[in-house]
Amino acid sequence: MIKLSKRLEMIARRVPQGSRVADIGSDHALLPTYLVQQGMISFAVAGEVNEGPRDAAQNQVRSAGLGAKISVRLGNGLAVIEPGEVETITIAGMGGSLIASILDAGKQKLTGVRTLILQPNVGEDAVRQWLDENGWLLTSEAILEEDGKIYEILTATYNEANENQEAYESMRQQLYAPRVIGQSEDGEITLSKEMLMRLGPWLVHDPSQVWVTKWESELAKMDRVRVSMSQSDLESAKQKKEILTQEMKQIQEVLTCLQKVQP
């Protein structure tokens, strides 16, 4: 039996029981192997664009004796699946822009897919943006720390059956509707749509210590960039520094405000 990392285990827990799954960028096919071994699913595609990880996936599946249940395929993104073949897609351990571009390039393969479970290593906002622009409802977000790294897991569903379309659309609109979260000396602190995309609409709603740690560390990184820009006399560097300063101020305000309202 395979033992997963905490990160992959949290992804596995979000896979709907009994669904057919495609794990794109599967590397050693750990996730699909675990899901089948646990009896959570009975069919999976493990997709890989590179031959090395594809071979590793094939070895894993063969040694687990699961060749009849897990199909290992070589190809770019969603090119490895047929429309209607799976109901759940997992894409983990890549940058957010790459995940969004894989989904965008494979839109026609998303027919019949009801659940996306996405774990970008960076650039989560690019994933949220793609989901929002393409009719997917972000239904949950999770955040965890493992081996000194922080990961976010985004789960989204698609209302393909058009059930309660009005309620579904209203939930989609509400998710990124600007929210007032407190007061500062300058007036109300409002979370804009852009800020919600960046910080995570569900994560902001229920800010955990890990989430606060993540944004404190992001602020420290931004500050280092700001300091390096201060050493340049270029007008463009001065402008970038100004934008960065504003962004940092907004994020800091939100962190301070949300930490105050924590019980």
Q: Where on the chain is the footprint of ligand SAM (CB under 6 A)?
A: 8, 24-27, 47-50, 53, 76-77, 92-94, 98, 102
Long-range contacts of 143-147 (CB under 8 A, 24+ apart): 143/200, 143/203, 143/208, 143/210, 143/211, 143/214, 144/6, 144/7, 144/10, 144/210, 145/210, 145/213, 146/5, 146/6, 146/7
By C-beta, is 25 or 96 nearer to ligand SAM? 25
Q: CA 210, CA 145: separation in Å to the nearest integer?
A: 7
Least Å distance between CB 246 and ligand SAM? 33
By C-beta, is 102 or 116 nearer to ligand SAM? 102
Least Å distance between CB 251 and ligand SAM? 27
Least Å distance between CB 263 and ligand SAM? 34
Least Å distance between CB 241 and ligand SAM? 33
- Phi-psi sector, 105: left (phi>0), alpha (psi -120 to 50), beta: alpha
Least Å distance between CB 75 and ligand SAM? 7
Q: CA 87, CA 159: separation in Å to the nearest integer?
A: 12
Residue that has been written with the tokens 């990880």 in this structure: 53
Give the list of residues 6+ apart from residue 79 with CB closer than 8 angstroms, or none. Answer: 106, 109
By C-beta, is 146 or 206 nearer to ligand SAM? 146
Q: CA 171, CA 177: separation in Å to the nearest integer?
A: 10
By C-beta, is 105 or 167 nearer to ligand SAM? 105
By C-beta, is 99 or 258 nearer to ligand SAM? 99
